[in-house]
């Protein structure tokens, strides 16, 4: 059920701001799933682990990572939601205690944005007569339906996208011969990271090439360091 204070006027234009919540969680989840699972597989393989050991490590990483992402996103976003709710309760109390002062405060906000004082007062009076809390939520607190915290949506998107990202290197590890497992996982993971970065950049309206390069470079660095650690631990074992 939508809150009345965040009801928005709908129009034909489509903006990307409405994608921020789920897009951030989905991209972060897929990237984390792919990089962490590929790194885990490469680390165990580089340490001369058996093929079954590599698969067990990858599967455990997929399940544990997806659950961790879901729990972390839920707790984090719910904390944001709790803060928003607390701010709204405080604003309700202020409106009840000092309605005149809240009118003046809202008018001052509009003056600071360029309206002349008389018009700002008229706008504040009309908006508060229609929905006082909604006006202060939008213009004083910066809260809106578009950017409203949605804990379950963020948790679900993170867990699902992590699992999808993690499944790719794990599937490659299942079917690749042991002799080429490290190369196969590395190459396919990098290709998938480039694609993921490009898709995320396109969805967010950013330069596609830069987005793909950024994700691929950091993913390669993570996988390389983990594989190096696997070699060192494997030699020491």
Spell 139-149 as b/e; 16+ CB within 10 A means b.
bbeebeeeeeb
d(CA 148, CA 69): 20
pLDDT at residue 109 tops 80: yes
Those residues with Cβ within 8 angstroms of residue 194's Cβ, 6 or more apart along the chain or in another chain: 212, 213, 215, 216
Higher-scoring residue by pLDDT: 200, 208: 208
What pLDDT digit, counting tens, does each position of 51-77 carry? 899 999 999 999 999 998 889 888 888
Predicted confidence band of residue 22 (pLDDT cuts 50, 70, 90): low
Those residues with Cβ within 8 angstroms of residue 175's Cβ, 6 or more apart along the chain or in another chain: none
d(CA 30, CA 35): 8
Residue with tokens 């701010």: 87
pLDDT at residue 21 tops 70: no
User: Tokens at residue 82, please?
Assistant: 């709790």
Mean pLDDT lowest among 2-11, 81-90, 133-142: 2-11
d(CA 14, CA 78): 27
Instruction: Note the pLDDT of residue 56.
Output: 93
pLDDT at residue 6 tops 50: no
Q: What integer is the mean pLDDT of 2-30?
A: 54
Predicted confidence band of residue 49 (pLDDT cuts 50, 70, 90): confident
pLDDT at residue 126 tops 60: yes
Instruction: Note the pLDDT of residue 25.
Output: 62
Q: Report which of 86, 106, 84 is spatially closest to residue 95, judged by C-alpha positions.
A: 106
């Amino acid at each position: 059920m939508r809150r009345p204070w965040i009801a928005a006027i709908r129009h034909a234009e489509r903006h990307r701001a409405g994608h921020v919540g789920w897009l951030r969680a989905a991209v972060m989840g897929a990237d984390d799933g792919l990089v962490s699972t590929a790194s885990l597989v490469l680390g165990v393989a580089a340490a001369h682990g058996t093929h079954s050991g590599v698969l067990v490590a990858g599967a455990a990483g997929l399940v544990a990572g997806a659950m961790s992402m879901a729990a972390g996103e839920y707790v984090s976003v719910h904390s944001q939601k709790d803060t928003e709710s607390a701010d709204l309760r405080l604003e309700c109390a202020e409106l009840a205690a000092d309605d005149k002062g809240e009118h003046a405060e809202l008018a001052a906000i509009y003056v600071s944005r360029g309206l002349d004082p008389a018009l700002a007062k008229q706008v504040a009076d009309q908006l508060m007569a229609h929905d006082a809390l909604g006006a202060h939520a939008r213009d004083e607190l910066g809260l809106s339906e578009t950017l409203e915290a949605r804990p379950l949506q963020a948790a679900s998107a993170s867990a699902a996208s992590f699992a999808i990202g993690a499944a790719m290197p794990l599937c490659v590890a299942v079917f690749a011969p042991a002799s080429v497992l490290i190369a196969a996982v590395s190459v396919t993971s990098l290709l998938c990271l480039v694609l993921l970065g490009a898709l995320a950049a396109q969805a967010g309206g950013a330069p596609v090439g830069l987005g793909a390069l950024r994700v691929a470079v950091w993913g390669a660095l993570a996988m390389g360091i983990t594989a190096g650690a696997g070699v060192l631990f494997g030699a020491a074992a």
